Amino acid sequence: MKAVATPPIREIRQAIPAPSPRTTGSRLRTWLANFWLRYLFWHAWHAPWVVRATKWFYLSFALTFSKALKHGTQCNAKRIIGPGLSERKLSRFTRHVVSNFYDFVYDIGRSLGSTRKQLLERIEMATGVEQYEAMRKLKRGAIVVTAHMGSFEVGCASLLDREPNVHVVFRRDLLERFEMMRARLRKNLGVHEVPMEGSDWTAWMPLRDALLRDEVVVMQGDRVMPGQKGRRVRFLGGHLLLPTGPIKLSLATGAPVIPVFSIRTQQGRIRLFIEDAIEVDSNDPDAVERGLEQMASVIERYVREYPEQWLVLQPAFCEDATT
């Protein structure tokens, strides 16, 4: 039998979606969905108690008018849980994901008036602290990789309780009010923001220098933003395009990649999980692929365990990207 050559794994730049023609109905649904988000963000910032009291209204509004939201979360459910889900289970999954996204926004709003100590009081438990501290004693910096789960801000507060300098890599959100809320909260916490715009490589130099000074860089590891580069990696029932940045930074600096996840409990408290460090061997010609596979394996475990807390509302898997 003739052997079939395996295509080389290559880096892919995430496409920036072009605007598509819209019907009157789709324009109306888009306007209503954006209205829902802006209304939610305004109240989360100025009156968090309103957000908490009217959650049922927001959820019903979003699930009624956002066709894209339902499509994205249901595509993800079929990959995470399996293709044989009933319509009832798909609807339940979608409602719980949107509910968790709602709680995430509410957390940002109410955290604007909280001190770092008050944020830390929300942490119910933390595992892996000893191994994290042992790794930090090596003075090599640390690349903390997380996913779109739980409460990112509480996780940052926990890091800042141990680290004097934390640099958070992010992409500015298109919704201005949400971005203003997030920037205000990070400023209150004392986080150094590092915005990434497309493939702006100049932002990577300060990150490298920060790691060489034994500081901490925090990055999302479960999604590639439009205009940025990533590689396809097997993940649950398909493939994800994962960012190569954390692994390449590790290769450039020798800093370990440390996965950290914050998971929300039913009571609204947070459990922090610090995983074993991923060490990238600069002498390995396949170091990027191996590092990404390890990173994907850890993230996959948490998404499988807490699928409804994975706050990705659009089709996440490569196989569904054009459907």
3: pLDDT strictly greater than 80:
no
6: pLDDT strictly greater than 70:
no
For the chain, the average pLDDT equals 83
Please tell me whether residue 109 adopts helix, strand or coil conformation. helix
- 199 or 154: which leads in pLDDT: 154
Q: How confident is the model at residue 254 (pLDDT cuts 50, 70, 90)?
A: very high
- 250 or 157: which leads in pLDDT: 250
Question: pTM of the prediction?
Answer: 0.85
22: pLDDT strictly greater than 70:
no
- 157 or 99: which leads in pLDDT: 99
Give 298's contacts (C-beta < 8 A, 6+ positions apart): 259, 275, 278
Contacts 24+ apart (CB under 8 A), 87-93: 93/307, 93/308
Strand residues in 161-293 grouped as ranges (E): 166-170, 192-195, 216-220, 229-235, 238-243, 257-264, 270-274
- Mean pLDDT check: name the lowest of 12-16, 54-58, 164-168: 12-16
